[in-house]
Amino acid sequence: MSSSPSEAPTPPAPPAAPAGPAGAVGPIDPAGPADGDVVLEAVDLQKHFKLRGIGSRDVVHAVDGVNFELRRGRVLALVGESGSGKSTIARLLAQLMPATGGRLLLHGEDAATKGRRAFRRYVGRVQMIFQDPFGSLNPVHTVRYMLTRSLRIHRGRLRGTELEDALVELLERVQLKPAERYIDKFPHELSGGQRQRVAIARALAADPEVLLADEPISMLDVSIRLGILNLLQDLRDRLHIAILYITHDIASARYFADRTMVMYAGRIVESGDSEAVTQDPKHPYTQLLVRSAPDPDDLEARAHGARGEAPSLVKPPSGCRFNPRCPFATELCRTEQPPLLPVGEGREAACWGYSDRADKPVLSDITEALA
């Protein structure tokens, strides 16, 4: 996708003014809940997909027993390789598909929706930004039409000056200025970064409390990815939104997120402060993810990856799901599933190597173990 000069990161906009009259797209009331308060919580979340076929009883264990919290004014990154279940979790949180098990809690209350009205109320508070900014925007409609429709769904049938002011404010909030330059364009007339900004503006029309960003920069030119992350960071700081940032790039998680969870084969294997997780990874899989991040000075070490391939999620390995690829795996790892064990202040890792058991594996430098 091509980029344009307007995609260069722009200085943060001044703090938004308090919410105006009905229909205005202002920030969440600063007198509301404090930053750090839990907004959305996943409890033992599970998703199994049935395989098609006559007489087939097999299922794909896409997500198994996942727990986490999204907090106001904080970014939680969910990192893992393709097929680990990251996007499935985003769709479960957006309630675009039913969960097989577990619960979603919105401000501590069951968030399961039944019927269109309940779903509309839920999506007014939890919005999703998709990976492909072209596929998520209808190519036959203009930016004006898409934003107007979102505003009217979530804020009533705005008209006249009130509607125009809301449209301009949405576009300026995502740094598409002047708004008149973009408002009547079709998606194909915009660059990839501009399309993603329009998609973010459409989500903000609901004044959500939670944004689910499913790899929002992976399909954009490298030169404009930082601008999108800076925009989301600015929205988090000014609007105090809870953000789930899904990515396979652990380096961007360190830059953007307050906390990072690492996912492998449908389970969380490590969590903690983003700086600590990326600088001092504890789980062997996290160590491999960190080593796979681009580093021109360490090309030889990066050539050594984990042995074997990711496991089948139809019949996942018993015990730790990473054990077939782990150089430290013992019989304990192959027979018993490790819980998330404390490995530091506010940090956990699902590895028997951090347990007190006598038959635990002995961890060492993974680079030397894989050499």
Backbone angles phi, psi at 110, to 5 degrees: -55, 125
Q: What is the pLDDT of residue 134?
A: 81
Backbone angles phi, psi at 329, to 5 degrees: -60, 140
Q: What is the pLDDT of residues 81-98, one digit of tens each?
A: 988 999 999 999 999 999
Q: What is the pLDDT of residue 56?
A: 75
Query: Looking at residues 184-202, what average pLDDT do you find?
Result: 94
Q: Is the pLDDT of residue 120 over 60?
A: yes
Q: What is the pLDDT of residue 1?
A: 43
- The answer to whether 52 touches 229, Cβ cutoff 8 Å, is no
Q: Is the pLDDT of residue 16 over 50?
A: no
> Considering Cα of 117, then 29, then 210, then 130, what sign does the dihedral take?
positive
DSSP letter, residue 26: -
The residue with tokens 């097929």 is 83
Q: Is the pLDDT of residue 145 over 70?
A: yes
Q: What is the pLDDT of residue 310?
A: 80
Under the banding of pLDDT at 50, 70 and 90, the label for residue 33 is low
Under the banding of pLDDT at 50, 70 and 90, the label for residue 295 is low
Q: What is the pLDDT of residues 211-234, one digit of tens each?
A: 999 999 988 888 889 999 999 999
Q: What is the pLDDT of residues 55-91, one digit of tens each?
A: 678 899 999 999 999 999 999 999 999 889 999 999 9
Helix (H, G, I), strand (E, B) or coil at 68: strand
DSSP code string of 358-369: TT------HHHH
Q: Which residue has the higher pLDDT, 138 or 12?
A: 138
Q: How far apart are CA 176 and CA 179, in angstroms?
A: 6
